[in-house]
Chains A and B, each alone.
Chain A
Amino acid sequence: MQDRYSRQTLFTPIGVQGQEKLKEKHVLLIGAGALGTGNAEQLARAGVGKLSVADRDYVEYSNLQRQQLFSEQDAYERVPKAIAAKNRLQEVNSLVDVRAYVQDVQAEEFEQLIVGVDLIIDATDNFETRLILNDIAQKYNVPWIYGGCVGSYGLSYTIIPGVTPCLNCLLETVPLGGATCDTEGIIGPAVQMVVAHQSAEALKILVEDVEALHGKLISFDMWKNQYTGIKVSNVRKDACPSCGKERQYPFLAPGNQTKTAVLCGRDTVQIRPPHKMERDLDQLRERLHEGEVEQNPFLLAYTLGTQRLVFFKDGRVLIHGTKDVTEARRLYYKIVG
């Protein structure tokens, strides 16, 4: 195993010194879907010392087309993505310290996860979480790498607090609607192109070669054969509430966080209890008399007719078969009371 990194240390900008730096670094990946599994595998193989992987969802068959750390068995057993990712990453590189968090990461969780982190990789599927991530990164002065993709299109941007504009400078408002994997699908090559940009930027940051960062907002379309990179450095705003002089981190305020979310690419609504709780799945199982119940150590799936609810230990529930939040809440309260 001594020469496992030999081809990487031969690469001059990394070298033996860079490899030592990688070993000392801790990367937090928010999301273990397509971008999360792609980046995690790259960074684990590259020998990053510690990887924390957080995800709120579990593996399904429709993930296998592009989410590279997962197997059919993971989908069959509905293993939480963070756990399945950790299992595979440890097979790939046992020298890496991988931590799995089966969590819906919002402000409260971020405050705990950010401790000791050198870099955050954005592999989320929504802008609400990204803007919380953006505020946390500014607050704790941690760089992060945005990535997004849908269809054959993707884009990426590296955000360095105090140097580049932040996501809030670029967006100005929370984008609502627009194309999602739900409406337009997604192809593996678009995922991999974003992963390639994110993980290359990650390596540069981790070996402290900031000069090499591309500094542009990169976008591409793998089907239309377009590739663009634009300079956005002058978009940085002094008055930005997330990174400006009088910053308030608006997305860390509790009032700005919703408790329900429609999951990208899935006909699914997530409901999250307002307070932290540990759900007793065995006790819940005893209360369910009709329908079909499947349980593993992390979750309980309950099917009644065409409706399926999946209860996680951390209190969250995924309600499948609907994108309607009100309908989802109705089903939730019908069972949880």
Chain B
Amino acid sequence: MTLHVNGEMSAYPEEVATISDLLQYHELNGQMVIVEYNQTIVDRTAYATTRLCSGDQLELVHFVGGG
């Protein structure tokens, strides 16, 4: 599946089916993340149930504490 993630188009393996899978793939699971999915912010409770389709656009922004 091909997804636009943070402005870059990449091919993802089959096991990346939902937003949760995508976060896991990018090693962002368990972190404080805001996900924009096709221009809409997704509620955290819907990460596991939001299924991705080829061509979807996502922005993943994770919060970090350093400063």
Contacts and interface: CB of A to CB of B under 8 A. Distances in A.
Interface of A: 31, 33-36, 122-127, 130, 147-150, 153-155, 170-173, 175, 177-181, 186, 194, 217, 219, 226-228, 230-232, 234-235, 264-265
A171 B65 contact: no
Interface residues of B, number: 18
B64 A150 contact: yes
Given A147-B67, A148-B67, A155-B63, A175 B31 contact: yes
Interface string B17-54: 00000000000001110101000010010000000000
The 5 A-B residue pairs with the shortest CB-CB distance in the complex, in nearest-first order: A175-B32, A150-B66, A230-B36, A35-B67, A181-B66
Contacts of A219: 61-62
Interface of B: 6-8, 30-32, 34, 36, 41, 44, 59, 61-67
Contacts of A230: 34, 36, 41, 59, 61
A149 B41 contact: no
11 contacts: A124-B67, A148-B63, A149-B67, A150-B64, A170-B63, A171-B63, A177-B30, A178-B31, A217-B34, A226-B6, A228-B61
B45 to A, nearest CB: 10
Contacts of A226: 6-8
Contacts of B65: 124-127, 130, 148, 150, 175, 178, 180, 264
Contacts of B41: 230-232, 234-235
Nearest to A125: B67
A223 B32 CA distance: 21
Contact of B64 (A148, A172, A265): A148
A201 B15 CA distance: 41
Nearest to B44: A172
A39 to B, nearest CB: 10
Contacts of A35: 67
> Which of B8, B34, B64 has the most chain A CB within a 10 Å cutoff?
B64
